[in-house]
Every structure is written in C-alpha cells, then in structure tokens.
Amino acid sequence: MSRGLVIGESLIDIVGSEEHVGGSPLNVAVGLARLGREIDLLTHIGDDPHGRHIAEHAKNAGVQLVSGSMTATRTPTARVTVDENGSADYVFDLEWQLSGTPEVAPPLVVHTGSIAAVHEPGCLAVAALVDTYRVSATVTFDPNVRPALIVDRDLARERIDHLLERSDVVKVSEEDLRWIDPDRPPEVVARSWLASGPSIVAVTMAEQGAFALCAGGEVRVPARPVHVVDTVGAGDAFMAGLIDALWAMGLLGADRRGALRRIPPETLTDALRAATLSSALTVARAGADLPDRASVSAAASRFDG
C-alpha cells in the first residue's frame, strides 16, 4: 500500500469572468500529488468541457481519476465572491452521487470531507466506503462546511459525527466549529471530538495559526507571515500538508493506528508547522494553487532557516 485515495467533489469555481478548478477534496488530492504522493481521486463530474478541464487539471498534477468518476449529467460549479479581506463566499450548482466500490488497491490513507460528507445521495456511499477502507487505511476528514447546501442542519451534524467516529485525523476550521456547535467554545468542541475516536484533531484559526489535540496533549503553532492574496484553498492546503507530514513520519495505514494514537506532542507540532507552511504558500497566491515539493522545500529554508 503506497497510494492515497481521496473521495469527494470536484467543481469549477467561477470568479467574475474567470473559471478555476476547485472543490475541497479535489484540492487535497492535487496538493498531495504535487508533493509527490501517489493519489487516486473518486469524484463525480460530467464528460463535458468543465469536466474535461477538471480531469486535465488532475492529470497534470499527477492525480489518477478513478474509473466511473465522469458519469455526472453536468459538472458542478460554484460562483465565488471574494470580499475585501480575501474571504470567499460560494453559491453552488451541484449534484453529488457515487455508486459501487472503486476498483483501486487498498489505500494507505483515505481522505474525504466537505460537500461529499453531507450531501445526498452520495454522502451515504461515502460513509460506506470509509467503513470499507479503514480496515487498511488511515482515515482523514475535513468537514469544510458549506451552509448554502445544507437543508437539514441536524442531519448534517449527525453525518459529520458519524465520520468523526471513524476518522483518525480530523482537520476543521474554527469557523466551521462555530457553525457545527455554536453553543460551546471551539476548544471544548475539539476536545469532545478527540474523545469520540480520532487520534488527532487539528483546528485552523486563520491569522491566529492552528492548534491540535492528541492523547499526549495540545500543541499550537503561529500562522506564517505572508501577504494574503485570498484564502481560497487555504484549509485544503493545510490538510494536504498535514497528511503529507504524517506520511513522511511513517504514521499512516491501519497497522500504524496505534503509533498515530501515541504521537508525541513535539512530533505533532512538526506536522502542524508543515501544514501551516503549505497553507501560507497557498494564501499568498490567487485561487487554490497548492504548492509543490520544491516550493515547500524552498519556503521551509526561508522561514525555518
């Protein structure tokens, strides 16, 4: 097992007159592939100009589209509005569904999240696939909530809780935690999530950096000092950077679940630093343009000496 599997939506972000390939899971897949990881992507796009654009983007990054990923009647889109602070708001035209088990070898890590985790009917297949693959794989999850697509808030939270219990590594933004559980401080919610099953719960806090919880305690890292162009893809870059760091540390795969659960705080701190570096390089560029290995290595030398 040397490959990762990402399950989730791919779409075209429409920003004014410009179009960009997007979708949180797709961004994570591309980010990992650009870092040199072998990645399969199970998604749902059409065999239309938008879909072929996405397929070409994935191929250029080194991502392998899983057979059956181009069966949608149309490729999803999201109209994006970016405010003066660089924050993005989305209006979606999207359908999400999956059928059957993809014909891929048992992965080392399986990642999912965002729309794929809560949007019917595909979210039901996602939950079943996570149960199937966690026998061999580390499960990573980013709720990356899209309120505009959520009709039943309580049901969405139930589906998020279901995946939480089956995940090993969870990344979530402070903003999403406040949407999911507005009655408790994010730190309290994160601790309750850790108690529900994951080995790591990492919380991103924009310019305040990030913190993460594990059995050994809590660690915090500051944000990297960069000029922010926009925040599109920032959380996805963080997720890709975190998975990549844990991969390099030999902590992925079901047979390493015990070692991951015992991750020392200082090791988790190193992983968080890698994740924040990946995120910083992304926010310094327009759109979800996640960095490759050479960019990360050069930036690490610049930031960390």
pLDDT at 239: 97
Residue 260 confidence (pLDDT) above 80: yes
Q: What are the φ and ψ backbone dihedral angles of 273, each rounded to 5 degrees?
A: -60, -40
Relative orientation angle of helices 24-34 and 49-61, to the nearest 10 degrees: 30
Looking up residue 109, the CATH number of its domain turns out to be 3.40.1190.20
Question: What value does the mean pLDDT take over residues 279-301?
Answer: 84
- Identify which has the larger pLDDT, 283 or 60: 60
Q: How confident is the model at residue 9 (pLDDT cuts 50, 70, 90)?
A: very high
Residue 86 confidence (pLDDT) above 80: no
Q: Which residues pair with 40 in a beta bridge?
A: 5, 64
Residue 305 lies in a domain: no
Residue 295 lies in a domain: no
pLDDT at 285: 85
Residue 11 lies in a domain: yes
Rounded CA-CA distance 24/293 in Å is 20
Residue 243 confidence (pLDDT) above 90: yes
Lowest mean pLDDT among 21-35, 74-88, 256-270: 74-88
- Digit-coded pLDDT (tens) for 96-109: 999 777 878 889 99
Residue 71 lies in a domain: yes
Residue 304 lies in a domain: no
- Digit-coded pLDDT (tens) for 208-242: 999 999 999 999 999 888 877 777 788 999 999 99
Residue 300 lies in a domain: no
Q: How confident is the model at residue 4 (pLDDT cuts 50, 70, 90)?
A: very high
Specify the residue for token string 């040199």: 36
Pairing between strand 169-173 and 200-204? parallel
* Average of per-residue pLDDT values in the chain: 91
pLDDT at 161: 95
**Counted domains in the chain:** 1
Segments forming the whole domain that contains residue 228: 4-290
Rounded CA-CA distance 180/271 in Å is 25
Question: What value does the mean pLDDT take over residues 266-271?
Answer: 97
pLDDT at 119: 93
What percent of the chain has pLDDT above 70? Answer: 98
Say if residues 121 and 95 touch (Cβ distance below 8 Å).
no
